[in-house]
Structure 1
């Protein structure tokens, strides 16, 4: 008798994710040329001595961390940053040799050991963490490059900026830690009102001045995120940390004219059925849409399990055959419905663009975010991994 495993091996490809786009119900397209353009545009905006740290955490904001990291480094990014140990290991496993900074806090001894084993760079947020790092590394007889984070008003990770001298002095005394940088993070750099941003910047400047007066000049100083990078060159220092702008989106509307960035990501799906619904019928769960007349709908193979928020139900538009079509009824786990009365030629297999551009029509992650009263970062990070990433 032929085993189930033998039958499966004969019928299925060895790598299901290698299937061609024309065999997928839905996918994410990632334009690597646009990504390269954005890196070059950002580099041209910076002083020649200022380094670019590309933030590729959260799977490069849903774009695919390994390929994105390879691409941005090839186009001139100097370093990459991630949020977790596992993200760093994934990049090292893929052959990335550039410096990789973990922006999140590492505390467990076994995690510190892994950071050292994988040649990653850690963020040190407080003296207690620094001591644990040094003790662990001493047992291993290893040394580690670390970045010291000051809290200037974000009230998240970091040591209070007023304690910068004591903090740095302690870390300097720990023989198994090598300080690579001192940095902080803005909380309101994307807002029109600069009051808090300027206060944080002033605090950071004061802390750095106190460090220098105490005889320590950090090898690298970095403060600017995407918004500050685009909006205030005085915050660039030795390096900037850019995330959202890499992917062609702007942190705020008032920054859209600074650089010409190109959106990198598109979300597409296929129509799986076209049908006519008679008057008075409900569409989808809960009958949140009732037809008033005979209505032509297209069922599309993508849903909230793929990252299309259910709260966009009856508020979403998509591009079909070069025209906008309205989504109707509740978005379901795997499918959604579009009203296509105005598209006589639409048929199963036709491609629907949910985020992206066709001719002059464009739908962006910002459009979704505005409807949901959230931010484009959340939209980009929401697309699940059962959507293959297709690099074009």
Structure 2
């Protein structure tokens, strides 16, 4: 029995990342397998040359897995750097006592952000001459030196100075008294595709920029180019760091890369049956009656819905596992609940656990299956599970 003080604490904190598992497994939750996470880090590190460090990308609340516990586990198992997208994400890690170097991948364009980055000892990405000027002016005013990471656009056409202009940009930062170049990097756009023509072209552009720096007698800092796909492809793309996001969570950037490294899924999504009922034939189910029973049908109501991250567009196309048995979801997915057809299942009771993502018995349901059905990517599915689903760290 949970005491009132602990229950009050759970409610007040929104059940975000707490481990009071008996209480918060009553409706729906996400389980995070840290043994699988540790396995993935070690499997990926085995692909690297001895001098290459693993930078774990933990932005977006560690792709929906719960950033603090994920950061602690990846660092304990051999990752030496972390990367996030926003200033707030970096502050959250520092406030939790994480002392590892943290790279901010997003762009910073105001003095107040720069001051906060310096205060929290984060390491920002610079993409333009205008940023270099603002950073230098701000850090000179503070009387401090800041390590910065310079991004070159070799073909992603997102953040970064284009490779043709990179030497002038890097030279400007190199000459800045209050800025210290910690690394130089770029990002692959198509490394997860089987046709690596563009990947090799981006690599060549990156090497071209490095050669021009050598001609200008600018010493090379740490270099990094590879995302998860580039890391799995091989050491030719690795340099001093690799930035691994998706793969540490046990998902593959593409099916053809699965044979190159053994990864284990870290996330499982589960909920409970909250009611059972039997409906007569020709009975509509859920909003809009997008499903109508053909025969007498036993349905289970499950306490999870689109407000938790189950895409409504999966309505009538989702399968789940109940006691190791596959069951179809029927009717429109609603904000807080879904309905299942459990007519054919045996021994189904209120309170039984329903597995939406994960393993139960001999079957496994994956984020890739959802992504394929929806025409999207596994990243979006993982990041979609909302914070009202407690993260249970196993």
The interval holding the TM-score normalised by the smaller chain is over 0.9
1:73 is aligned to 2:75: yes
Report what 2:339 is aligned to: 337
Q: CA deviation at 1:161?
A: 0.5
Q: CA deviation at 1:22?
A: 5.0
1:268 is aligned to 2:233: no
Q: CA deviation at 1:12?
A: 4.5
Distance, in Å, in 1 between the alignment partners of 2:234 and 2:77 is: 23
Q: For the Cα contact (< 8 Å) 1:39–1:76, is it kept in 2?
A: yes
Q: For the Cα contact (< 8 Å) 1:180–1:218, is it kept in 2?
A: no
Secondary structure, aligned partner of 1:13? helix
Of 4, 10, 15, the residue aligned with 2:10 is: 15
Report what 2:97 is aligned to: 95
Q: CA deviation at 1:168?
A: 0.8
Q: Report which structure shows greater RCO (CA 8 Å, sep ≥6).
A: 2
Q: CA deviation at 1:359?
A: 2.4
Distance, in Å, in 2 between the alignment partners of 1:321 and 1:229 is: 38
Distance, in Å, in 1 between the alignment partners of 2:49 and 2:159 is: 28
Of 111, 114, 117, the residue aligned with 2:116 is: 114
Distance, in Å, in 1 between the alignment partners of 2:5 and 2:144 is: 49
Distance of aligned partners of 1:184 and 1:355 in 2 relative to their CA distance in 1, 3 Å threshold: same
Distance of aligned partners of 1:229 and 1:10 in 2 relative to their CA distance in 1, 3 Å threshold: closer
Distance, in Å, in 1 between the alignment partners of 2:5 and 2:161 is: 58
Secondary structure, aligned partner of 1:80? strand
Distance, in Å, in 2 between the alignment partners of 1:322 and 1:271 is: 14
Report what 1:182 is aligned to: 184
Report what 2:229 is aligned to: 227
Q: CA deviation at 1:214?
A: 1.4
Deviation readout 1:226-268 (Å, 9 max, x if unpaired): 0011013211011100000000000001000001110000000
Q: CA deviation at 1:217?
A: 2.9
Distance, in Å, in 2 between the alignment partners of 1:161 and 1:130 is: 17
RMSD: 1.3
Secondary structure, aligned partner of 2:274? strand
1:141 is aligned to 2:136: no
Secondary structure, aligned partner of 2:166? helix
Report what 2:40 is aligned to: 38
Distance, in Å, in 1 between the alignment partners of 2:313 and 2:390 is: 23
Q: For the Cα contact (< 8 Å) 1:125–1:158, is it kept in 2?
A: yes
Q: CA deviation at 1:11?
A: 9.7
Secondary structure, aligned partner of 1:196? helix
Report what 2:319 is aligned to: 317
Q: Which runs of 4+ in 1 moved over 6 A?
A: none
Report what 2:390 is aligned to: 388
Gaps of 5+ in 1: 1-8
Secondary structure, aligned partner of 1:362? strand
Distance, in Å, in 2 between the alignment partners of 1:14 and 1:230 is: 42
Give the TM-score of the pair, scaled to structure 2: 0.96
